[in-house]
Amino acid sequence: RLLEPVAPYKARSVYALTADLKCQIVDGQPPDGLSVMQLKNEVQLKQYRVPAYVNQLIKSLKQPHHSDSRRTLLESPLSWENYTEKFQLLLYLEESQMNLDIKRYNIPNEDSKFAVLKRDKNKKLLVLEVPGVSENRPSVLRGDSLLVQPQGEKEVKYRGYVHSVNLDSVKLGFASELLDRYTTGKDLSIIEGIKFNVEFTINRLTIRLQHRAAEFATLCGLRSVLFPDETPSHLKPELPHLKLFDQQLERNPEQYQAVQQIVAGSSRPAPYLIFGPPGKTVTVVEAIKQIEKTQASCHILACAPSNSAADLLCSKIRDHVDECMVYRMYASSRDPKLVPAHLKGCSNLVGESYVYPAKEKLMEYKIIVTTLLSAGRLVSGNIPSGHFTHVFVDEAGHAVETECVVPLAGLLDAESGQLVLAGDPKQLGPILRSPFSLKYGMGVSLLERLMTTSSLYQKNEGVYNNCFVTKLLRNYRSHPAILKIPNELFYDGELQACADEYARNFYRWWQYLPKQDLPLIFHGVAGVPLTGYTPSFFNVAEVEVLMDYVRKLLQSGRKKGLATIGPKDIGIIAPYRKQVQKIRKALEQVGKEFTFTDMNALKVGSVEEFQGQERRVIMVSTVRSSSKYMDYDKKFSLGFVKNEKRFNVAVTRAKALLIVVGNPIVLNTDDTWKRFIQYCKDEGGCTGLVQPEKDDYEVVLRLSALYISIEGHDKTYEKVVEMHESVVQQQLDPEWRNDL
């Protein structure tokens, strides 16, 4: 009963989505000493405000037969001639949707009718509770600002600057007018009796950096990098014989030859691409180390979309490179507590502030590691084009193209420089909020665009040209049974299961397997997808099945002679945010049963949150039990059905056991899932609901409807479509990316 919808879905309050009235804004107190700027901003970063015509454009794009020059531009294939104009228009569309989506978190909202500000120990700060801030829902960084307004007052708003972010609260610096106005001598812990409205805003710096990158790409002549010549005329260079730092790579011919080709500069001026299963990052790191070792004049910029991925890169690079030659440059908004202790010594974090050295000092480092967007600070600092001989981008498939271009435009010399992209175009790209930016191509990463449009990166007579691209073939993560279907569907059956025998066979003989020696389960369930206060779907029947498996796994781990397993070894993937919430709620009860203190270590999240991660056991909840909204999911890139990339990521996270819970009838309408379920059935891995006849299924649905009513379902979706916030925001509630 805890998991049932608390009420039928109703549309969000109008307040959170209405335009603001003009009023006075009293500026607050920003945090002191966020950064020390020795690096001068010599290159302008313009504002790139969304033009007034964009709102009208969005309205016209909703009309299928309306045509104008901007729509024609959006519908045209990306080319060198329209590169800047098209990407800037896409960025305007995306920012417009971001400005609407961020309003979801405004207060009042569906969870809170008002906000209360409390006094901090530091009397100059006030504390605001923001549930979800620890998960970047919304993203709030040091130095960001938000607006508060006493309820009932319309003339004034107070801007508060974020001084620190805690688990579910932020500490804000306001003007003395607010600090002094509402405190009483009796109680300094709370601003007594005052109820506030709160408005969140997006950080525009990320968008502005991408606008400049799109503009500079053409100004700096990156044509040979972004649209490489299809018929290269240069001869293949002689490949160097290398003694690798990571000797395991010497036993992997694909990784070894990728490092050789990169060191030799075989693809220059075209980018070099590395794609395939796990192993891309260690290949990139080895190539960086070899270049630093063998090319005295090199300067390397190593980037990734996220701070966590950039930290991983830097950690691995430092293993064999003189620490004084490696520099990890963070954005001033990065919480110092999140900087790994072992990287502080080679980073720009000094105490609690970030120091940005002068240009001349930065140019002394052999290797600089940043996020893609933080590389924009090097552009602003006017590091000369061509100073960096090599630019590496790891996890390149996760970034929109304009992000990938930030460390290129203004820094990389198109003819003499070398760009290396590593990622997997068969897995999920970046999350976009605007349906129009998604529809017109912004969701395609630079890596994927090159692989799908340039013959340099496509097979010729069944093989890739190793001078330009390497496909890694050895998978060191998953049991062969888990790998089989994604391998056949997405990797031409070329992947080789090379995971450690002991690790991959943990559950080979688990007593609850439908078939022993097959650590793969498809559990058929005919639950009903529901909605509660929000339009996001959940499925109670699937949650119950998942909890049964969690209990069995944790019980097994306590039996003598069996492999131990804890919450940290299990991951549960669900496509909709409401299902994630229901699963987390159910896990709280399971944790009480087992008296686990680390139940929060059992990660539950969307496919996007699991990309790049792995667990010994992965469970997947597919949620959908009706084909009614499958086209809707496909249109907005939601759910698992009709989305090959989301399927691929979900089923390839598991090392030793994969459990998929879902409705076989609905899933069988999708060719990818049909193939997977048929494999499970052929091999004996199916349990639960076996696909019934059509008439039987209708009975199942009617019986399920008695279990929980889903009143007004069609009307619910009419409201969803009419709402201003994006479908992606409603269904997924994705993290707000904050990796500057």
* pLDDT one-digit tens code per residue, 655-669: 999 999 999 988 998
Quick check: is 362 in a domain? yes
Residue 317 sits in the same domain as residue 373: yes
Beta strands 353-356; 35-37: pairing state: parallel
Burial of 337 (0-12, 13-18, 19+ CB in 10 A): exposed
Whether the Cβ atoms of residue 155 and residue 114 lie closer than 8 Å to each other: no
How far is residue 719's CA from residue 723's CA, in Å, rounded to a whole number?
Answer: 6
Whether the Cβ atoms of residue 645 and residue 613 lie closer than 8 Å to each other: no
Q: Which pLDDT belongs to residue 140?
A: 87
* pLDDT one-digit tens code per residue, 468-477: 999 999 999 9
Q: Which pLDDT belongs to residue 14?
A: 38
Its sign, for the CA torsion 609, 612, 618, 619, is positive
pLDDT higher than threshold 90 for residue 513: yes
Q: Which pLDDT belongs to residue 341?
A: 95
Residue 365 sits in the same domain as residue 514: no
Q: Which pLDDT belongs to residue 628?
A: 53
Quick check: is 432 in a domain? yes
Q: Which pLDDT belongs to residue 636?
A: 53
Whether the Cβ atoms of residue 394 and residue 375 lie closer than 8 Å to each other: no
pLDDT higher than threshold 60 for residue 502: yes
Whether the Cβ atoms of residue 259 and residue 249 lie closer than 8 Å to each other: yes
Mean pLDDT of 657-684: 94
Whether the Cβ atoms of residue 249 and residue 282 lie closer than 8 Å to each other: yes
Range of the domain at 633: 501-683+700-723
Q: Which pLDDT belongs to residue 81?
A: 98
pLDDT higher than threshold 70 for residue 536: no
How far is residue 299's CA from residue 174's CA, in Å, rounded to a whole number?
Answer: 43
Instruction: Please spell the DSSP secondary structure of 439-462, one letter per residue.
Output: HTTTTS-HHHHHHHH-GGGS-BTT
Q: Which pLDDT belongs to residue 707?
A: 34
How far is residue 598's CA from residue 128's CA, in Å, rounded to a whole number?
Answer: 27
Q: How confident is the model at residue 85 (pLDDT cuts 50, 70, 90)?
A: very high
Residue scoring higher pLDDT (638 or 336) = 336
Whether the Cβ atoms of residue 656 and residue 617 lie closer than 8 Å to each other: yes
pTM: 0.87
Residue 464 sits in the same domain as residue 541: no
Q: Which pLDDT belongs to residue 530?
A: 53
* pLDDT one-digit tens code per residue, 613-629: 899 999 999 987 555 55
Beta-carbon count within 10 A of 468 CB: 21
* pLDDT one-digit tens code per residue, 164-213: 988 789 999 999 988 887 655 554 445 556 889 999 999 999 999 999 99
Q: Which pLDDT belongs to residue 676?
A: 97
SS3 736: coil
Q: Which pLDDT belongs to residue 724?
A: 64
Quick check: is 617 in a domain? yes
Q: How confident is the model at residue 135 (pLDDT cuts 50, 70, 90)?
A: confident
* pLDDT one-digit tens code per residue, 595-612: 877 888 999 988 888 888
Quick check: is 100 in a domain? no
* pLDDT one-digit tens code per residue, 684-696: 999 998 765 555 4
Q: Which pLDDT belongs to residue 167?
A: 78
Whether the Cβ atoms of residue 280 and residue 394 lie closer than 8 Å to each other: yes
Mean pLDDT of 282-290: 98
Residues forming a β-bridge with 262: none
Residue 531 sits in the same domain as residue 642: yes
Quick check: is 152 in a domain? yes
Quick check: is 695 in a domain? no
Q: Which pLDDT belongs to residue 239?
A: 93
pLDDT higher than threshold 60 for residue 529: no
Helix (H), strand (E), coil (C) string for 653-683: CEEEEEEEEECHHHHCCCHHHHHHHHHHHHH
SS3 514: coil
Whether the Cβ atoms of residue 309 and residue 737 lie closer than 8 Å to each other: no
SS3 149: strand
SS3 440: coil
528: tokens are 């009903």
How far is residue 419's CA from residue 225's CA, in Å, rounded to a whole number?
Answer: 8
* Side-by-side strand order, sheet with 353-356: 35-37, 353-356, 349-350
Residue 369 sits in the same domain as residue 426: yes
74-88, 482-496, 567-581: segment of lowest average pLDDT: 567-581
| 351 alpha-carbon distance from chain centroid | 30
Percent residues over pLDDT 90 in the chain: 64
Residue scoring higher pLDDT (192 or 383) = 383
> Letter for the amino acid at 255?
Q
Q: Which pLDDT belongs to residue 240?
A: 93
Q: Which pLDDT belongs to residue 113?
A: 85
CATH number for position 255: 3.40.50.300
Whether the Cβ atoms of residue 116 and residue 124 lie closer than 8 Å to each other: no
Quick check: is 99 in a domain? no
Residue 580 sits in the same domain as residue 670: yes
Residue 362 sits in the same domain as residue 458: yes
pLDDT higher than threshold 80 for residue 289: yes
How far is residue 443's CA from residue 429's CA, in Å, rounded to a whole number?
Answer: 6
Residue 273 sits in the same domain as residue 375: yes
148: tokens are 């508060």
Q: Which helix (H) or strand (E) holds 146?
A: strand 145-150
Sequence length of the chain is: 740
Task: Provide the CB-side half-sphere exposure for 134 (13 A, CA).
Answer: 6
Residue 70 sits in the same domain as residue 148: no
Buried-exposed string 401-430: b where 16+ CB fall within 10 A, e elsewhere: bbbbbbbbbbbbbbeebbbbbbbbbbbbbb
How far is residue 222's CA from residue 297's CA, in Å, rounded to a whole number?
Answer: 22
Q: Which pLDDT belongs to residue 441?
A: 96
* pLDDT one-digit tens code per residue, 415-450: 999 999 999 999 988 889 999 999 999 999 999 999
Whether the Cβ atoms of residue 553 and residue 546 lie closer than 8 Å to each other: no
pLDDT higher than threshold 60 for residue 5: no
Burial of 687 (0-12, 13-18, 19+ CB in 10 A): middle
Q: Which pLDDT belongs to residue 399?
A: 95
Whether the Cβ atoms of residue 254 and residue 471 lie closer than 8 Å to each other: yes
* pLDDT one-digit tens code per residue, 293-318: 999 999 999 999 999 999 999 999 99
Instruction: Please spell the DSSP secondary structure of 464-481, one letter per residue.
Output: --TTTEEE--EE-SS-HH
Residue 465 sits in the same domain as residue 358: yes
Q: What value does the mean pLDDT of the chain take?
A: 86
Beta strands 469-471; 686-688: pairing state: unpaired
Mean pLDDT of 719-739: 61
Beta strands 615-621; 125-129: pairing state: unpaired
* pLDDT one-digit tens code per residue, 230-255: 776 667 788 999 999 999 999 999 99
Residue 272 sits in the same domain as residue 352: yes
Closest CA to 140 of 149, 131, 152, 148: 131
Q: Which pLDDT belongs to residue 681?
A: 96
How far is residue 367's CA from residue 50's CA, in Å, rounded to a whole number?
Answer: 36
Overall number of domains in the chain: 4
Quick check: is 492 in a domain? no
How far is residue 442's CA from residue 591's CA, in Å, rounded to a whole number?
Answer: 42
Q: Which pLDDT belongs to residue 234?
A: 63
Q: How confident is the model at residue 64 (pLDDT cuts 50, 70, 90)?
A: confident
105-109, 168-172, 457-461, 635-639: segment of lowest average pLDDT: 635-639
Taking CA 322 as the corner, what is the angle to CA 317 and CA 324, rounded to the nearest 5 degrees? 105
Q: Which pLDDT belongs to residue 608?
A: 82
Residue 73 sits in the same domain as residue 175: no
> Letter for the amino acid at 704?
S
